Amino acid sequence: MVIKAIYSGFKHLFKSRMTVKYPDQKLKMAERFLGRHILDIPTCIHCRACFRICPTKAITMVLLVKNAQQEEIPEKAGNDEKTPKKKKREEVYPQISYKRCIFCGFCVDVCPPNCLTMSHKYELSVYDKENLVYTPEQLSKKPSEEEGRYEIVFTRRGVSHAD
């Protein structure tokens, strides 16, 4: 029994370490890693498919009113007269609460124009929980990709990171 413990300790003594000095050094995420969402506002068609598919109801639709684009919509009066009435064009965009999001990617898969994508950003820590709700304006800003990322290397001697 003691010999097995000594053998195990001796075997792991020569393996390379997997320790990374976070946050100074960061690992490079896999290509299929699902991180923070990115919204392309001009291509959004307001179909609400992302809202309907979300299993945790982390996505809510937020109404944005654009004053510059106004349409004249005929509205029927009581005596069937068509009187033009100006109406502001209302558009809804997804707002994501990362308090509830499980990063499943269903919203990205169901989006018809592919205006909702996911980045590789995984650092979403904040001091106040209310800052975990990202508005469409916040989602439209692409996160910065920092330098100094290391790749994971699988070798016969174990797992390590490439320098």
pLDDT per residue as tens digits for the range 23-66: 777 777 888 889 999 999 999 998 899 999 999 999 999 987 65
CATH number at residue 100: 3.30.70.3270
Residue 5 covered by a domain: no
Helix, strand, coil % in the chain, rounded to nearest 5: 20, 35, 45
Report the distance separating Cα 129 and Cα 5, nearest Å.
46
Rg (CA), the chain: 25
Residue 71 covered by a domain: no
Work out the percent of the chain whose per-residue pLDDT is above 90. 40
Residue 85 covered by a domain: no
Phi, psi of 33 (to 5 degrees): -65, 135
Q: What is the pLDDT of residue 152?
A: 67
- How many folded domains does the chain comprise? 1
76 against 12, higher pLDDT: 12
Report the distance separating Cα 38 and Cα 51, nearest Å.
15
Residue 72 covered by a domain: no
pLDDT tier at 14, thresholds 50, 70, 90: confident
Token digits of residue 15: 């393996």
Token digits of residue 33: 């890693």
Domain of residue 112 covers 18-63+90-161
Residue 8 covered by a domain: no
Residue type, 65: V
Residue 131 covered by a domain: yes
Identify the CA nearest to 132 among candidates 108, 153, 103.
Answer: 103
Residue 27 covered by a domain: yes
160 against 69, higher pLDDT: 160
The pTM of this model reads 0.68
Report the distance separating Cα 63 and Cα 92, nearest Å.
4
In this prediction, residues 81-109 reach a mean pLDDT of: 80
Residue 152 covered by a domain: yes
Identify the CA nearest to 132 among candidates 145, 120, 123, 142.
Answer: 123
